[in-house]
Structure 1
Amino acid sequence: MSSPCDPSYARAGDVATAVMVMDSRLKAIYDGKGGSDPEQRRMADDFARSMTAADADALLDGVCTLIYMYMDWLRTVCERHDKEVIEHVVPTLVATMRMMPNTFRPEVIPTMAGLLIASGTGLSPNLWRAQYGDWTRAEMNPLEATAVILAEHINRMVGDDQEFATRLITDALAATDEA
């Protein structure tokens, strides 16, 4: 019996913009600027103001798709080494979230962990989340940060290749375009 949270029922959203936002955040981290670059902040603010509600929904779905794709890739890698993705990835990422109290207030950590677990078990994170109501404003930054720390985890895992997670998605998008 198929689940109503099966990824085949989910909208992919704007994955291209989601990966650009995630990649921009990663580059800021790797450059040592974090979120403190005023030019980067201005461009992000301008971008956010230009978005319609439909654009924002598509971006939110795109971020959830990134989380799903990253957890799917991690699940495949873990299975090759007889490891369980939930056991291997989720505790590390939750520990990272707990060290970032300005981004991850304690009440959003269970939701972000739930997105990782849903994805790790093959469920759509956005459909899983939808069962509990609409996204809240308080969940937006943690959602973005979850995708970023997941990508950064993958980059470290493959030998500190700072662009691996981005290439993983852009290669998948390119393959989809060719099909």
Structure 2
Amino acid sequence: MVIDSRLRAVYDGRTEADPEQQQMVEQFVASLGPGGAEAVLDGACTLIYMFMTWLRAACEEHDKDVIEHVVPTLVATMRMMPKAFRPEVIPTMAGLLVAAGTGLSPNLWRAQYGDWTSAEMNPLEATAVLLADHVNRVSGGDHDFATRLITEALSSPDED
């Protein structure tokens, strides 16, 4: 929901987050408590993993390497966004993408380096948004593809 909202803002040409939307997200996360906030964090990592898994399959169809195709592009974009990505968090986000791109759980990859820090929360969210946008562009420019990809993945276990 948050990622889709951020993408819509980008596609609509808005550079600032909707203050009302931001307040709702902050209230929601605050209402979850520590366990719930950790679940949201795990969810963001899962989205990154799912997007990288889809991109890996798409790259393999064209004999391309997902790491070579995705990571440099996203890192270059991160460098152009100094408010969202302070220079010291870019290696962590790149490592997260590489881990997910090679089939490793981002949560388990990160766990070996310690807990997430509060300074990494916005970059983590922004990484998921950038990755969703990349999925949308690779899919042919369908602005809703990444959201549908996740929605279908979440609803498919119910169908089994």
When normalised by structure 2's length, the TM-score is 0.95
How far apart, CA to CA, are the structure 2 residues paired with 1:130 and 1:31?
A: 36
Structure 1 gaps of 5+ residues are 1-19
Q: Which runs of 5+ in 2 are unaligned?
A: none
Equivalent residue in structure 2 for 1:156, among 133, 137, 149 = 137
* Aligned mate of 1:110, from 68, 84, 91: 91
In structure 1, the partner of 2:31 is: 50
| Aligned-partner residue type, residue 105 of structure 2 | S
* 1:10-35 residue CA offsets vs partner (Å, 9 max, x unmatched): xxxxxxxxxx1111111121122233
Higher helix share: 2
Q: Following the alignment from structure 2 to structure 1, what is the Cα–Cα distance between the partners of residues 81 and 111? A: 25
Does the alignment pair 1:23 with 2:23? no
User: How is 1:10-159 mapped onto 2 (pairs within 5 angstroms)?
Assistant: 20-159=1-140
In the alignment, the residues of structure 2 paired with residue 101 and residue 142 of structure 1 have an alpha-carbon distance, to the nearest angstrom, of 10
Partners of 2:15 and 2:159 lie apart in 1 by: 35
Q: RMSD in angstroms over aligned alpha carbons?
A: 1.1
Paired residue type of 2:133: E
Question: Does the CA-based 8 Å contact 2:29-2:36 persist in structure 1?
Answer: no
List, as ranges, runs of 4+ consecutive aligned residues in structure 1 with deviation greater than 6 Å.
none
- 1:123-157 Cα offsets, whole Å, 9 max, x none, are 00110000000111111000010000000011112
1:172 lines up with 2:153 in the alignment: yes
Q: Number of matched residues?
A: 160
The percent of aligned pairs where both chains have the same amino acid is 71
Q: Deviations over 1:6-62 (max 9, x none)?
A: xxxxxxxxxxxxxx1111111121122233422222222322322211111001011
CA distances 1:91-110 after superposition (whole Å, capped 9, x unpaired):
00000000001111111000
